[in-house]
Structure 1
Amino acid sequence: MILQARIPYDLSQMKPLPGIAPLDPADWLKVDDAYAEQMAERERLLATRREAVLAIELEAMPAARELLDVVLAHLPASYARVGEQVTRPDGVVVTLDRSDPMGTLGVLVQEDLCLLQKRGDEHVLTGAVLCFPSGWRLADKVSRPLSIIHVPIPEYDDNIGRRVQRLFDGVQVGRPLMRVNRLYHDNPALFQPGPRLSNSDRANPATAPYLRSERQCLTRLPETQAVVFSIHTYVIERGPDTP
């Protein structure tokens, strides 16, 4: 069981979808108290369930390589880099593999990372390393547009869908955005691919012993113009004051 001691933001008043706010680029990537345990779980999943947690279209490889460079440029101060080797905050040394950018990212940072690129009128999920899904399977969503990715979320109606697509269109280089969510779980496992059959296929908020929250950020890559959707997952045990 991998848990954080706390969630470092207020979840008592949730904003309606899409609930987006500006983000300081220096505050994009996080290292928290569950870092070492989460990274060990990411390594395990990539070694034993790679086909379930990593997908990349051939056409998305330039964006994936650019994403690796951008992440390297934004690593928190607790990382150290010498040439093509990065020492993580937990002391593990990662050798950068430019031929496998998403796999390298998966063992480098706590965030799951999804690449979305504009095709026609919508952004499409063209690649991802998704070790900690909550109720969705990467294989079901890769190469699909935003409108399909969010099925079966009833709040994600046509109006919200248009707003989210405009949001993805409007993300500017150097001006990332952030939102958070709140999910109730009976099971604290980080890898929960599901899939959910409906939005009601969830734990009871009144009795669920665990609270899961995803810190979701959007940033645009300057060269390929791909949009990066990053997910930092927190799971805590609920107490009497947990919202």
Structure 2
Amino acid sequence: MTAILQKTVPYNPLAEVKLPGIQPLPAEGWLAADDAFAGQMAEREHLLSARREAVLQLAPGAMAAAQELLELALNGIDPGAVTVAARADGRRVAVDRQDPLGTLGRLTQQDFCLLQKPEGAAEHVLTGAVLCFPASWTLAEKFMRPLTGIHQPVDSYGSDVAARVQRLFDGVQAGRPLWRFNALWYQDPALFQPRSQFAPRDKSHGSRAGYLRTEKQMILRLPQTRAVVFAIHTRVVARADVLRQWGAPDGMQTGVPAGTPA
């Protein structure tokens, strides 16, 4: 299969950032399309048709949050859309409010995870996701697990980082989204790269690999259901293009593995 690549990254993915590296996100910046839109959307369509159970999960109790997220996205993509919405390339997509995450998966490049905090619980739980582009984690293993369970076995996700992330999820305010990025060198440019938490990590990746995989990870609060949305915009860029744009030496920021919702 032909690699689906971007040519540039709108932030410096080689910059060293102290975890968790959170900063404010302009409210209009969370659903931006880029130069790989056509290729990524074709891959999303394929995965949602052929591998739906692997890329989409939704707990019954999270339906209202998923529907609220869909309406929020529609307001940014095609305000006023009711039964059909026009996405960034002009293609019209049927709006199915009984399949809100499936509809989102066909409208935007971003993946979405819904996290809700049950009454009396200490942590947010992953109650829904459309995750077409996992990087070294598997949705089925993380669905309905709390934040600490989602991040097993990430070495850098110790108790201090876990507490900071939970405070972040508790404190994020509606209308004031946040973002961070991560990045790792990959040998394989494929977008769909699930890996069981029990499987060994591919040691062929490293600073000499041919591709940089970076995620812009966005965190926002839904005002009505109060669920937290973790949105992921994945970019895979050839090594030469990364170094041409940023003129940076080899090396990579310290951070959690790409694709991990931290």
What TM-score do the two structures reach when normalised by structure 1? 0.94
Give the AA of the match of 1:90: D
Give the AA of the match of 1:100: D
1:20 paired with 2:19, answer: no
| Maintained 8 Å contact 1:126/1:143 | yes
Which stretch of the first structure deviates more once superposed, 199-208 or 61-70? 199-208
**Aligned twin of 1:49:** 51
**Aligned twin of 2:61:** 59
In the aligned structure 1, how far is the partner of 2:129 from the partner of 2:203?
24
Q: How many angstroms does 1:29 deviate by?
A: 1.0
Residue deviations 1:90-121, cap 9 Å, x none?
23210100110010000011000000000201
Q: How many angstroms does 1:217 deviate by?
A: 0.2
Give the AA of the match of 1:110: Q
**Aligned twin of 2:87:** 88
Runs of 4+ in 1 over 6 A off after TM superposition: none
| Maintained 8 Å contact 2:74/2:81 | no
1:226 paired with 2:252, answer: no
Give the AA of the match of 1:37: G
- Matching of residues 1-243 of structure 1 within 5 Å: 1-75=3-77, 82-119=81-118, 120-195=121-196, 197=198, 201-239=202-240, 240=243, 241=247
Q: How many angstroms does 1:200 deviate by?
A: 5.8
| Maintained 8 Å contact 1:152/1:198 | no
Question: Equivalent residue of 2:168, what SS?
Answer: helix
Q: How many angstroms does 1:12 deviate by?
A: 2.7
Count of aligned residue pairs for this structure pair: 240
Residue deviations 1:44-94, cap 9 Å, x none?
00000000000000010010101101111122xxx5765321122223210
Question: Equivalent residue of 2:117, what SS?
Answer: strand
| Change in CA separation of 1:128 and 1:6 when aligned onto 2, cut-off 3 Å | same
| Maintained 8 Å contact 1:152/1:199 | no
| Maintained 8 Å contact 1:80/1:88 | no
In the aligned structure 1, how far is the partner of 2:82 from the partner of 2:122?
40
| Change in CA separation of 1:198 and 1:184 when aligned onto 2, cut-off 3 Å | farther
| Change in CA separation of 1:198 and 1:44 when aligned onto 2, cut-off 3 Å | closer
| Maintained 8 Å contact 1:116/1:123 | yes
Residue deviations 1:8-46, cap 9 Å, x none?
111232212211001110111110000011001000000
Q: Percent identity?
A: 52
In the aligned structure 2, how far is the partner of 1:83 from the partner of 1:118?
30
Residue deviations 1:114-168, cap 9 Å, x none?
0000020100000000000000010000000000100111110001000100000
In the aligned structure 2, how far is the partner of 1:202 from the partner of 1:218?
30
Which stretch of the first structure deviates more once superposed, 27-36 or 193-202? 193-202
| Maintained 8 Å contact 1:213/1:234 | yes
In the aligned structure 1, how far is the partner of 2:12 from the partner of 2:199?
27
In the aligned structure 2, how far is the partner of 1:80 from the partner of 1:227?
22
| Maintained 8 Å contact 1:184/1:203 | no
| Maintained 8 Å contact 1:81/1:87 | no
| Change in CA separation of 1:70 and 1:199 when aligned onto 2, cut-off 3 Å | farther
In the aligned structure 2, how far is the partner of 1:90 from the partner of 1:23?
24
